[in-house]
């Protein structure tokens, strides 16, 4: 039985800040919802701290590290009051303000989880905040007027693990803990596939949001790749940038598609009787693959005003269609194969 603060945190507040991910959370098996939902709330609060551009990066980093310490059990009621007072007042979105003001109840809820769930949530939030710390230490202040790029593809791969691949691990461990029988075969193979699943989704985000990120000084396209095509990060803001950088996009899109193949293997490895888990995997795979198709057809993909985003109506149709196919591996394979074939034919 949930108390009122828990019901608010994992109900209305979670819905208000999780956007489309709330749909996935709602369909999860009951035992997974609370730890996964709480992990999302804490990570979302950390992300709000890291993205508050009105505050200098150094101050954001200090607050981010303080929150990580709180999540990992450090005492500090004064820290929470400072976050709620100083940082919440900087928020232009009321939902994010309420989220920061609710950190005390969220941490209280964390302390009441089972030992294994509490350690898992602490682990995933710690790793995710490492990714946010990476951003704050690597890239300039959003108002600095300059762009910094990651250096090597390995740097991008590490980044995608910190901000999304680790979520695949966490998800898999939560599944093993709360849904007996859902993970068949080699558990290590499922963990590896889970990491690739998360990386697939983050790489899709990187390519889709590249234009927006460039305009706040962040270039996730590695400079070693740009160099091969005679490009500098600053060139990606020029009018012909989408055309000139298309070979880089295609190279990264191929790598993303390889990650998606492992994501498909992950989803199909779940027994057909676990409908909720399968739906929670099928939706982001199909949405991601269709986003890659939009990218391939977007001649102005580096223009943030023309970002490759699926219309909400299309997302709803994917959800409805998936309800008809989720119980059949054969039908899902056909669906996934058509999506991937449409991408491969244009690479």
pLDDT bin (cut points 50, 70, 90) of residue 175 is very high
Burial 267-302 (b: 16+ CB within 10 A, else e): bbbbeeebebbbbbbbbbbbbbbbbbbebbebeebb
CB atoms inside a 10 Å sphere around CB 227: 12
CATH 1.10.600.10 fits 139-347, yes or no: yes
pLDDT grade, residue 7 (50/70/90)?
A: confident
The confidence score (pLDDT) of residue 29 equals 81
- HSE at residue 285, side-chain half, CA atoms within 13 A, is 32
Residue of 265, 116, 123 whose CA lies nearest to 186:
265
Q: Average model confidence (pLDDT) for the chain? A: 91
Average pLDDT of the segment spanning 66-81: 78
Q: Kindly indicate the confidence band of residue 31, based on its pLDDT and cuts at 50, 70 and 90.
A: confident
Kindly indicate the confidence band of residue 74, based on its pLDDT and cuts at 50, 70 and 90: confident
What backbone phi and psi angles, to 5 degrees, belong to 299?
-75, -10
Q: Which residues in the chain are classed under CATH 1.10.600.10?
A: 139-347
Report the first-to-last Cα separation within the chain, whole angstroms.
Answer: 52
Burial call 309-347: b when 16+ CB within 10 Å, e when fewer? ebeeeebeebbeebeebbeebeebeebbeebbeebeeee
- The mean pLDDT of 22-34, rounded to a whole number, is 81
User: What is the H or E stretch that residue 46 is in?
Assistant: helix 30-50
- Would you state the structure tokens that stand for residue 342, as one six-digit string? 């449409």
Q: What is the average per-residue pLDDT within 81-98?
A: 67
Rg over CA atoms, the chain: 20
Q: How far apart are CA 84 and CA 311, in angstroms?
A: 35
Model pTM? 0.92
């Amino acid at each position: 039985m949930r108390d009122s603060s828990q019901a608010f945190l994992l109900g209305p507040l979670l819905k208000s800040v999780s956007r489309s991910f709330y749909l996935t959370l709602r369909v999860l098996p009951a035992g997974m919802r609370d730890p996964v939902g709480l992990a999302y709330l804490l990570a979302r609060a950390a992300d709000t701290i890291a993205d508050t551009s009105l505050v200098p990066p150094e101050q954001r980093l200090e607050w981010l590290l303080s929150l990580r310490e709180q999540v990992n059990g450090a005492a500090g009621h004064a820290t929470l009051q400072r976050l709620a007072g100083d940082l919440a007042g900087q928020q232009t979105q009321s939902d994010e303000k309420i989220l920061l003001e609710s950190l005390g109840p969220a941490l209280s809820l964390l302390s009441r989880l089972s030992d294994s769930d509490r350690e898992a949530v602490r682990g995933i939030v710690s790793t995710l905040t490492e990714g946010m710390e990476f951003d704050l230490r690597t890239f300039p202040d959003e108002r600095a007027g300059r762009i910094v790029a990651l250096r090597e593809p390995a740097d991008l791969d590490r980044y995608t693990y910190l901000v999304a691949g680790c979520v695949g691990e966490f998800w898999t461990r939560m599944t093993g803990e709360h849904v007996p029988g859902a993970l068949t075969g080699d558990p290590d193979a499922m963990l590896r596939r889970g990491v690739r699943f998360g990386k697939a989704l983050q790489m899709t985000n990187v390519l889709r949001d590249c234009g927006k990120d460039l305009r706040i000084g962040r270039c996730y396209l590695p400079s070693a790749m740009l160099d091969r095509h005679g490009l500098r990060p600053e060139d990606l803001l020029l009018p012909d940038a989408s055309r000139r950088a298309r070979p880089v996009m295609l190279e990264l899109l191929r790598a993303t598609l390889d990650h998606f193949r492992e994501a498909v293997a992950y989803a199909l490895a779940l027994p057909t009787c676990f409908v909720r888990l399968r739906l929670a995997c099928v939706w982001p795979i199909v949405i991601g693959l269709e986003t890659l198709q939009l990218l391939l057809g977007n001649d102005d993909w580096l223009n943030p005003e023309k970002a490759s985003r699926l219309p909400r109506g299309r997302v709803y149709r994917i959800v409805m269609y998936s309800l008809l196919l989720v119980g059949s591996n054969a039908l899902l394979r056909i669906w996934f194969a058509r999506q991937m074939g449409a991408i491969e034919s244009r690479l």
